[in-house]
Structure 1
Amino acid sequence: MQIVLIAGDGIGPEVTAATQEVIAATGVKIDWIDAPAGLHSAEQFGDPLPERTLDLIRQYRVALKGPCTTPVGKGFRSINVKLRQSLELFASVRPVQSLPHLKTPFEQVNLIVVRENTEGLYAGLEHQVVPGVIESLRVITRTAAERIVRYAFELARQYGRRMVTFCHKADVMRLSDGLFLQCAREVADDYPFIDFEEKPIDNVCLELVTDPKHYDVLVMENLFGDVISDLCAGLVGGLGVVPGANLGSKYAIFEAVHGSAPDIAGKGLANPIACIRSGAMLLEHIGRRDAAARIEHAVVETLRAGVGLTRDLGGDGNTRTITDAIISHLPTGSHA
């Protein structure tokens, strides 16, 4: 099995290396194909996301990605936005579950945020009308709206989820969110065995920070999803423990959703759990569900034991100690 590896910037090479170790410890053999992206790529190739990297992902279909930094003020497009649009990675999937040991406002949170990845304001379609006036285009199409809502329902069916919540602001953006809402209702009719609700995005935010246990699968447009996915990560311990994936009909990229943390880069202090759990999502994607489940089990048991944890998790360990702890907690046989 050959999979593209984008190590990224800052702590990226450290957390992706830890992920490679944990995956190898499950017995799954992967031939990693290195691909450049980020600041070093911009310096070396004049582009933070060179076409050669996109071509490698097109060839091998699946990639593991560390955090990458887009150079600011040099005219480059966001690496993540370019990846999503160039490869039609229309679905951002962020599973959010409560984990042991971590002090969080709530317990028993278990939800999935599904975000449309290619359209909306976050697509960055902007221009200057006249000096001092900028116009941003919020494009919503029926094709993309139906596709992402159907993806959310199929995800709910695959994992036995009880309800899909569509988040919108159709009372204000009557045409764009109105179309999205109409599409959501039409798709929901094809899944009568899964509960469906539609809620204004501001109500969803309020309820997430008061009682998130109500929610199961949430689906929404691009910018709303960017905000909500990080909010939900904060409910269970932050971006350092939450995995992420960007998925399309042909290609898939699995990544830690936190930043590159240049202040601790190279010091061996980074928490690799988000990247390791993204690696588990990758394994599930390629059909290695047993190995994926074993990694998730090992992460939970490592947090429960509380030994070797990095400083952000309340311990006095480092990248090496927490990686070793996770490997030591991997079940030897199959783990359901």
Structure 2
Amino acid sequence: MDALHTQAIERATKRFGELLAGEFERIERVKQGGKPKDYASLDHITIGILPGDGIGPTIVQQAVRVLECLLADQIASGRIEIRPIDGLTIERRAELGESLPQDVLDAALACDVLLKGPLVTPRPGDPWPNLVSANSLLRRGLDLFVGMRPIRIPDQGIDWTFFRENLEGEYIWGDKGIQVDDDLAVDFKVCTLPGTERLARMALNYARDNGKTTVTVVTKANIVKHADGNFQKIICDVAEREYPEITVQTRLVDATAAKLMDPDFNKDFQVIVLPNLYGDIVTDIAAEHQGGLGSAASANLGTQHALFEAIHGTAPTLAERGLAPWANPCSVIRAAGLLVGHIGFADRRALLERALDICCATERRVVMGFGDGPTSADFTDYLIETIEGLK
């Protein structure tokens, strides 16, 4: 081995050691995590609103209207406050050179729950600095360690809830990989015992509380022996010790992606738990089968905060062509429904889902990308009318 390679290895080893030291500090913080917030006992709940980029402000505005409809009595009494949070546009982030400005994070931390529109994460070739994902930084800053995504396809009997680990896996050090030299780059995958245990308990508690009997763990543990192997084993161990009434089954991620809609393969699917990267991919595939990314929502959950969002992007083509007013708001409206259920109003979330089932089955649905027909606001008018009629 020549001197240049030796020096490159020494630099990489030093950097890897620094990353591990930081991870041990994070593990200790996870171990000291507090009890989950009890929203029913709160005298005041603040809902922060982050409009986002592209079509985000348009569709989030409609979701806020739905929140105001569903929570009208709570808002009128002063128990619930809806608070806009400005300053997270890509233009401001680029100007500051910061993916997540501190004032925005501070404002988010001052809220109990948040509703967020899609944000631009710059890609090579974009006219923006190569900023780290603001979504990832929000999850880390608020310690939102679970990504929960429900998928419902009633005519196929599908009612699945995905629990994705949000803070570890391949994404935790996504911007901290090591370029060893021109020929070699290394990224990492992280799995910790306390991080996976708290994910397991949230998924298993959800199963227990919602009458689910089977939890499916999806990994590539046959190949990724340590990170995926530990992830699978930890969840199975927690279930065996603390949730003996729940059956845990395991699946490989490639087979799951290929056979997701095969009735013989998915017949026992109820609650599905995945590491970060696999969860990102498989839930997008499931959303496409549900009706497209525009139909699906996500809840990012921690013990003290929660953030609810659509799972699609900013649709820059629509925004640039002036078609944002016709963007489909259903994904972020469903996210608003998840928020309402999370803070203690499960009956009102169920009411919204009933209304969406009705409205999305009629000709007055929103078709994303067309500059004629019902607008996002028109659809929301219809949805609110339907909600009021169901009350």
What TM-score comes out, normalization by structure 1 length? 0.91
1:273 pairs, out of 296, 320, 330, with: 330
* Paired AA for residue 111 in structure 1: W
Match of 1:306 in 2: 363
SS at match of 2:58: helix
**CA apart distance, 1:43:** 4.1
Match of 2:144 in 1: 89
4+ long deviations beyond 3 Å: 43-46, 331-334
Q: CA RMSD in A?
A: 2.0
Alignment of 1:149-298 (within 5 A): 149-189=200-240, 190-211=242-263, 212-265=266-319, 266-267=322-323, 268-298=325-355
Q: Which stretches in structure 1 are left out of the alignment for 5+ residues?
A: 100-105
Identity of aligned residues (%): 32
Inter-CA distance 218–97: structure 2 relative to 1 (3 Å threshold): same
Q: Which stretches in structure 2 are left out of the alignment for 5+ residues?
A: 1-44, 76-80
Rounded to whole Å, the distance in 2 between the matches of 1:206 and 1:71 is 30
Q: Is the 8 A contact 1:9 1:40 kept in 2?
A: no
Rounded to whole Å, the distance in 2 between the matches of 1:119 and 1:181 is 14
Rounded to whole Å, the distance in 1 between the matches of 2:278 and 2:337 is 26
Which stretch shows the higher mean deviation, 37-46 or 217-226?
Answer: 37-46
Q: In the alignment, is residue 113 of structure 1 matched against residue 167 of structure 2?
A: no
SS at match of 2:171: helix
Rounded to whole Å, the distance in 1 between the matches of 2:293 and 2:285 is 9
Q: Is the 8 A contact 2:326 2:369 kept in 1?
A: no
Inter-CA distance 180–311: structure 2 relative to 1 (3 Å threshold): closer
Match of 1:3 in 2: 47
Rounded to whole Å, the distance in 2 between the matches of 1:178 and 1:2 is 40
For residues 236-272 of structure 1, what are the alpha-carbon distances to aligned partners after superposition, in whole Å with 9 as ceiling and x for unaligned? 1111111111111111100011010112124311000
Rounded to whole Å, the distance in 1 between the matches of 2:215 and 2:89 is 35
Rounded to whole Å, the distance in 2 between the matches of 1:305 and 1:116 is 36
Inter-CA distance 277–51: structure 2 relative to 1 (3 Å threshold): same
- The aligned length equals 327
* Paired AA for residue 310 in structure 2: A
Inter-CA distance 210–333: structure 2 relative to 1 (3 Å threshold): closer
SS at match of 1:263: helix
